[in-house]
């Protein structure tokens, strides 16, 4: 018989880089799921586990340094504690960086949360020579302090025990209030008594906390007072007077003094309870940094490292990719064989051409993507990425971006979807939006399939690597240029201040890296399974219908005749030739279907507009297909030229291309592909992360226009020069 489980809800908080995510994963393992905080694009991770008769629900709050109203992450953390009232807040502290980490803890204390502190990375702290008297610290802070080493899974049980003890209040720690000195305390008292009269707010918040926040000029609390308090005028007036008084007394805005006093309290507590035994080892991280971020060798070292990352990605990924392509071809064949050879079943076509053709080509890129994300995860977990952002900031800043913008751009070399999702680490909206808008200009893996097909078709061996490089560089250059343009016109504003913590270098753990790699890889798979699947089907419909009736019938008759001949004796010796003819007719028929289809007609309709770029209706049609996924472009071109299965007959497709188009056109196709038509998945994720259709449309339209104009210029100038 099952005992009725008691439950406890724990909110996990902490600075970014404190190991909070590792703790979360340690506590919940695979029993977690990811959602969204309502109304915002911030991830909400929840998980659960059982511990000593309790069902523990763990909610992962966004990583923050404080609980101000300045960023959405801080507001979410704050709201969760106030409105959802978790039983306990567990604040994960980086033991090697205690003072700054405790700043957040103090804020939770003032908010009235029941707090448990996890002294994470306590192994590192020991190595660095820090010795923490936990008991004393818990008395000074008024809450249990538990040592943990999340990367090794140590201390989790102790943490849960402490949380349960906090909830049941079975520990004997006296509660502690941070005092701000008598001048500020006087004002706090004055405001508190006024706030107590406001029932709506006082019921949910401690008046002391509200008073402190008002003195800190907290915009959200001010708004809440204005909206919900009957005596709001009285309160806000008193705030104004208090603020002015304190400014006169201290010569500084009260919020600065309050921050100062908070750190003072923390510093005092640490001085009592933390000792550095002997000479704390000279920071290994600083020594590494003096080399890695050295002004002269920092940048070349970084470029060298990036080069290695890409080499690693493509060398390891290529064979796996080929394997997957073959696998999908086999799958297509297997499904095809379920129908008789000449069957015109729409379902068969849908499955083989539409679904496997579209989704398969995207998924075969997965190995490459995973390796790229793996490399990036290792660099991130080791702490190097922060330095890279620091090195890149110089360049980024010139175009109005943030150093941290470079990480999404790096991810974009794999796939734009996780890249845009990674912009969540950018705190300021203008930075985020600008980065989201220009990221599609970075040549993603899908575009690589187009380059891989087209470059060998038009350029001699010696030139191929160079052309590829040129294309990538153009993409990067355009991204930076567009960013500057956007910041000067549409998203004007102050350059956002660059302040970022440099976490110490640490050894990435297999577990951590695996989780980070999978998180992003999964996004890629999900996009393939959902959006691309849907659009592939739509595109299949557009390229298969309307049927061309008469023309098809003629082909069918011709093919039937040949099949008859094959069956008779008169065909002896001519079988291979006849079979060849049969295949040829089949392909021509497919090309005709495409030409007659909606997509084909659209392509032809657009042709006059495409001619100045050197394109014809066939390229136009293929680009339409590329909207679903760029990889589809290659497949479409194959069909248009009745090559049949373009994957396995690249050579023949390249030959056809070479015969039909000039080198200039080939280059223009790649240029256009690079800039225009972000795939559907990109548009969808842009809409979600930017928060409105307006930006997604702006991005799509802007890129298409840019692509058109640039390709037009390149083509026309190219013609003039030749």
Determine which residue in the list 186, 196, 220, 255 makes contact with another protein, applying CB under 8 A. Answer: 255
Q: How far is the CB of 232 from another protein (least distance, A)?
A: 21
Among 32, 204, 231, 285, binds another protein (CB under 8 A): 285
Selected from 68, 122, 313, 665, the binder of another protein by CB under 8 A is: 68
Residue 299: both structure tokens together: 């940048």
* Minimum distance from residue 256 beta carbon to another protein (Å): 5
Single out the residue of 165, 132, 211 nearest to residue 51, CA to CA. 165
Q: How is residue 479 written in tokens?
A: 């991204």
Tell me the chain's radius of gyration from C-alpha atoms.
Answer: 31
CA atoms of 102 and 138, how far apart (whole Å): 12
CB-CB contact of 433 with 692 (8 Å):
no
Give how far Cα 53 sits from Cα of 28, 62, 165, 605, Å.
16, 28, 13, 69
Residue 100 lies near another protein (rule: CB under 8 A): yes
> Closer CB to another protein, residue 81 or residue 595?
81
Instruction: State the sign of the Cα–Cα–Cα–Cα dihedral 692, 694, 695, 696.
Output: positive
Phi (first) and psi of residue 56, to 5 degrees: -95, 125
Instruction: Return d(Cα 642, Cα 584) in angstroms, integer.
Output: 8
Q: Which residues, 6 or more positions from 132, have their beta carbon under 8 angstroms from its beta carbon?
A: 95, 98, 119, 122, 125, 145, 147, 273, 274
Which residue among 39, 295, 510, 720 contacts another protein (CB under 8 A)?
Answer: 295
Choose, by CB under 8 A, the member of 217, 232, 586, 652 that binds another protein.
Answer: 217
CA dist 378 and 512 (Å) reads 9
Write down the least CB distance from residue 108 to another protein, Å: 14
Q: Out of 44, 49, 397, 601, name the contact with another protein by CB under 8 A.
A: 397
Q: Shortest approach of another protein to residue 263 CB, angstroms? A: 5
Instruction: Report DSSP state, residue 611.
Output: G
Check binding of 293 to another protein (CB under 8 A): yes
For position 502 contacting another protein by CB under 8 A, the verdict is yes
Closest separation between CB of residue 680 and another protein, Å? 37
| 350 Rama class: left (phi>0) / alpha (psi -120 to 50) / beta | alpha
253 binds another protein (CB under 8 A): yes
| Interface pattern 626-665 for another protein (x via CB under 8 A) | ----------------------------------------
Query: Minimum Å distance from CB 65 to another protein?
Result: 6
User: Which residues are 145's β-sheet partners?
Assistant: 117
CB nearer another protein, residue 4 or residue 295: 295
| Binds another protein by CB under 8 A, chosen from 10, 23, 98, 523 | 98
Stretch that binds another protein, among 35-43, 256-264, 532-540, 587-595 (CB under 8 A): 256-264
Cis peptide before 546 (omega within 30 of 0): yes
Residue 260 within binding range of another protein, rule CB under 8 A: yes
Q: Under the criterion CB under 8 A, does residue 250 sit at the interface with another protein?
A: yes
Backbone angles phi, psi at 318, to 5 degrees: -55, -55
Residues 179, 185 contacting (CB under 8 angstroms): yes
> Which residue of 40, 173, 259, 598 would you call a contact of another protein, by CB under 8 A?
259
Question: Which window, 412-420, 459-467, 493-501, 687-695, contacts another protein (CB under 8 A)?
Answer: 493-501
Tokens of 165: 């003890």
The answer to whether residue 216 forms part of the interface with another protein (CB under 8 A) is: yes
Q: How far apart are CB 191 and another protein at their closest, in Å?
A: 18
249 touches another protein by CB under 8 A = yes
Binder of another protein out of 6, 271, 394, 574 (CB under 8 A): 394
Closest distance of CB 213 from another protein, Å: 12
In the sheet that holds 43-51, the strands lie side by side as 32-36, 43-51, 54-60, 6-14, 88-94, 115-120, 145-147
Task: Residue 575: count other Cβ atoms within 10 Å of its Cβ.
Answer: 11
Residue with tokens 């996890």: 118
Stretch that binds another protein, among 468-476, 502-510, 575-583, 681-689 (CB under 8 A): 502-510
Determine, following the binding rule CB under 8 A, whether residue 65 of this chain makes contact with another protein. yes
- Does position 99 interact with another protein (CB under 8 A)? The reply is yes
Q: Give the one residue of 289, 590, 631, 647 binding another protein; rule: CB under 8 A.
A: 289
| Contact with another protein (CB under 8 A) among 37, 263, 459, 708 | 263
Distance CA 156, CA 118 (A): 9
Residue 55 or residue 222: which is nearer to another protein going by CB?
222
Smaller CB distance to another protein: residue 246 or 703? 246
Structure tokens at 236: 């806000």
Which of 103, 373, 615, 700 binds another protein (CB under 8 A)? It is: 103
Distance from C-alpha of 636 to C-alpha of 619, rounded to nearest angstrom: 9
* Residue whose token pair is 């056109």: 665
Please name the residues in contact with 386: beta carbons below 8 A apart, sequence gap of 6 or more. 500, 501, 502, 503
Size of the site for another protein (CB under 8 A): 44
Q: Shortest Cβ distance from residue 252 to another protein (Å)?
A: 7
Instruction: List the one residue from 500, 525, 578, 713 that touches another protein (CB under 8 A).
Output: 500
**Applying CB under 8 A, does 66 fall inside the site for another protein?**
yes
From 189, 256, 308, 488, residue interacting with another protein (rule: CB under 8 A): 256
Site for another protein in 509-568 (CB under 8 A): none
Q: Least distance (Å) from another protein to the CB of residue 74? A: 10
* Cα–Cα distance, 580 to 583 (Å, whole number): 5
Q: Smallest distance, Å, CB 67 to another protein? A: 9
Give the Cα separation of 83 and 77 in Å (integer). Answer: 10
Q: Which is nearer to another protein, 266 or 585 (CB)?
A: 266
Binding flag, residue 252, another protein (CB under 8 A): yes
- The sign of the dihedral angle between the CA atoms of 339, 342, 346, 349 is positive
CA distance 6 to 146: 23
Query: Quick check: helix, strand or coil at residue 88?
Result: strand
Q: Cβ(50)–Cβ(14) under 8 Å?
A: no
Tokens of 498: 């660059």
Contact pattern from residue 400 through residue 439 relative to another protein, giving x for each residue in contact according to CB under 8 A and a dash for the rest: ---x------------------------------------
CB 107 within 8 A of CB 209: no
Interface with another protein (CB under 8 A): 65-66, 68, 70, 96-100, 103, 216-217, 249-253, 255-256, 259-260, 263, 285-286, 289-290, 293, 295, 386, 389-390, 393-394, 397, 403, 495, 497-504
């Amino acid at each position: 018989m099952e005992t009725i489980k008691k439950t406890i809800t724990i909110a996990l908080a902490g600075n970014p880089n404190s190991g909070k995510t590792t703790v979360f994963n340690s506590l919940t393992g695979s029993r977690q799921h990811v959602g969204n905080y309502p109304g915002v694009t911030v991830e909400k991770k929840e998980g659960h586990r059982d511990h000593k008769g309790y069902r523990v629900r763990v909610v992962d709050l966004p990583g923050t340094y404080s609980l101000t109203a300045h960023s959405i992450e801080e507001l979410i953390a704050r709201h969760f504690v106030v409105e959802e009232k978790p039983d306990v807040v567990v604040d994960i502290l980086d033991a090697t960086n205690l003072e700054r980490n405790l700043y957040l803890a103090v804020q939770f204390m003032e908010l009235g949360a029941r707090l448990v502190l996890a002294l994470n990375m306590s192994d590192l702290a020991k190595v660095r020579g820090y010795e923490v008297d936990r008991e004393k610290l818990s008395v000074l802070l008024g809450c249990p302090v538990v040592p943990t080493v999340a990367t090794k899974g140590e201390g989790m049980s102790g943490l849960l025990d402490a949380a349960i003890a906090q909830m049941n209040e079975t520990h004997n720690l006296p509660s502690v209030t941070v005092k701000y000195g008598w001048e500020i305390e006087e004002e706090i008292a004055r405001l508190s008594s006024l706030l107590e009269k406001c029932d709506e707010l006082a019921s949910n918040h401690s008046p002391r906390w509200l008073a402190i926040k008002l003195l800190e000029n907290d915009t959200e609390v001010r708004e809440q007072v204005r909206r919900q308090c009957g005596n709001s005028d009285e309160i806000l007036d008193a705030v104004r007077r208090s603020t002015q008084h304190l400014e006169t007394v201290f010569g500084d805005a009260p919020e600065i003094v309050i921050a100062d006093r908070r750190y003072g309290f923390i510093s005092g507590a640490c001085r009592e309870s933390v000792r550095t035994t002997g000479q704390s080892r000279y920071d290994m991280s600083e020594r590494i940094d003096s080399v890695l971020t050295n002004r002269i060798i920092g940048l070349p070292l970084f470029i060298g490292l990036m080069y290695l990352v890409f080499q690693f990605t493509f060398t390891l990924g290529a064979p796996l990719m080929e394997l997957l392509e073959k696998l999908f071809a086999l799958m297509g064949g297997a499904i095809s064989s379920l129908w008789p050879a000449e069957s015109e079943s729409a379902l068969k076509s849908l499955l083989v051409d539409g679904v496997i053709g579209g989704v398969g080509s995207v998924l075969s890129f997965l190995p490459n993507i995973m390796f790229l994300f793996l490399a990036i995860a290792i660099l991130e977990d080791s702490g190097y990425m922060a330095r890279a952002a620091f090195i890149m900031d110089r360049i980024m800043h010139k175009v109005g971006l943030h150093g941290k913008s470079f990480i999404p751009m790096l991810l974009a070399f794999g796939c734009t979807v996780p890249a845009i999702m990674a912009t969540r680490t950018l705190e300021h909206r203008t930075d985020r939006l600008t980065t989201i808008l220009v990221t599609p200009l970075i040549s993603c893996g899908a575009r690589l399939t187009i380059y891989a097909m087209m470059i060998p078709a038009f350029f001699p061996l010696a030139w191929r690597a160079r052309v590829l490089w040129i294309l990538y560089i153009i993409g990067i250059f355009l991204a930076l240029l567009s960013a500057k343009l956007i910041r000067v016109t549409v998203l004007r504003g102050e350059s956002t201040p660059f302040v970022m913590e440099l976490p110490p270098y640490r050894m990435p753990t297999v577990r951590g890296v695996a989780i980070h790699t999978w998180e992003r890889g999964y996004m890629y798979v999900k996009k393939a399974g959902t959006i691309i699947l849907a659009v592939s089907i739509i595109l299949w419909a557009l390229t298969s219908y309307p049927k061309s009736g008469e023309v098809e019938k003629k082909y069918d008759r011709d093919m039937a005749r040949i099949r008859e001949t094959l069956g008779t004796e008169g065909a002896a010796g001519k079988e291979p030739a006849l079979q060849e003819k049969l295949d040829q007719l089949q392909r021509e028929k497919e090309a005709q279907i495409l030409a007659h289809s909606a997509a084909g007609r659209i392509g032809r309709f657009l042709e006059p507009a495409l001619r100045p770029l050197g394109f014809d209706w066939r390229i136009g049609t293929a680009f339409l297909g590329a909207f679903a996924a760029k990889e589809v472009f290659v497949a479409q071109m194959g069909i248009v030229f009745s090559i049949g299965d373009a994957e396995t007959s690249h050579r023949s497709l390249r030959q056809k291309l070479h015969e039909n188009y000039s080198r200039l056109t080939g280059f223009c196709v790649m240029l256009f592909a690079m800039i225009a038509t972000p795939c559907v998945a990109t548009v969808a994720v842009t809409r979600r992360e930017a928060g409105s259709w307006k930006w997604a449309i702006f991005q799509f339209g802007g890129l298409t226009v840019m692509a058109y104009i640039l390709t037009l210029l390149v083509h026309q100038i190219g013609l003039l020069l030749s």
